[in-house]
């Protein structure tokens, strides 16, 4: 089960606001994987907040939810130590892979081929 990428408050977290759905996701035996945005500040709702803070918001919203892995592009992580601590808080392994298109093309978008490799490494 993948959460993200996407606008944190309007695309990712709303699924967890419904108590029945949040409980089903929490209890599911499926692996739960978060894919972080390449530019956390492009999400105006979370503008100015670190990628680590995204995970803190998630943990505060659904404290019983365990995440198996967090996939992030190392070139788009503002504070690796803080992100590592946030991953530990939610029980997640941090997977760092280059997820962007080759330089100069489609800035701010995940390269689907690179993202597929990262996702496959977790599954």
Is the pLDDT at 24 greater than 80? The verdict is yes
For residue 103, give every residue at least 6 positions away whose Cβ sits within 8 Å of its Cβ, in sequence order, or none.
none
Provide the domain limits for residue 9: 2-122
pLDDT at 45: 67
Q: Is the dihedral of CA 69, 70, 74, 75 positive or negative?
A: positive
Q: How confident is the model at residue 13 (pLDDT cuts 50, 70, 90)?
A: very high
Is the pLDDT at 116 greater than 90? The verdict is yes
| Mean pLDDT of the region 3-32 | 92
| Mean pLDDT of the region 36-42 | 75
Number of domains in the chain: 1
Query: pTM of the prediction?
Result: 0.90
β-bridge partners, 35: 71
Instruction: Give the domain CATH number at 112.
Output: 3.40.50.10680
Whether the CB-CB separation of 78 and 68 falls below 8 Å is answered with no
pLDDT tens column, 44-96 = 666 677 889 889 999 999 999 999 999 999 988 989 999 999 999 899 999 99
> Could you identify the residue written with the tokens 């695309």?
11
Q: How confident is the model at residue 109 (pLDDT cuts 50, 70, 90)?
A: confident
């Amino acid at each position: 089960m993948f959460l993200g990428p996407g606008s944190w408050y309007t695309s990712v977290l709303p699924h967890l606001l419904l108590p029945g759905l949040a409980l089903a996701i929490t209890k599911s035996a499926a692996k739960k994987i978060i894919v972080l945005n390449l530019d956390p500040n492009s999400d105006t709702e979370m503008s100015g907040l670190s990628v680590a803070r995204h995970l803190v918001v998630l943990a505060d919203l659904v404290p019983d939810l365990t995440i198996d892995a967090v996939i992030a592009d190392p070139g788009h992580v503002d504070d690796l130590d803080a992100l590592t601590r946030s991953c530990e808080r939610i029980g997640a392994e941090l997977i760092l892979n280059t997820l962007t298109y080759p330089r100069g093309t489609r800035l701010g978008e995940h390269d689907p081929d690179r993202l597929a490799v990262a996702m496959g490494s977790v599954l």
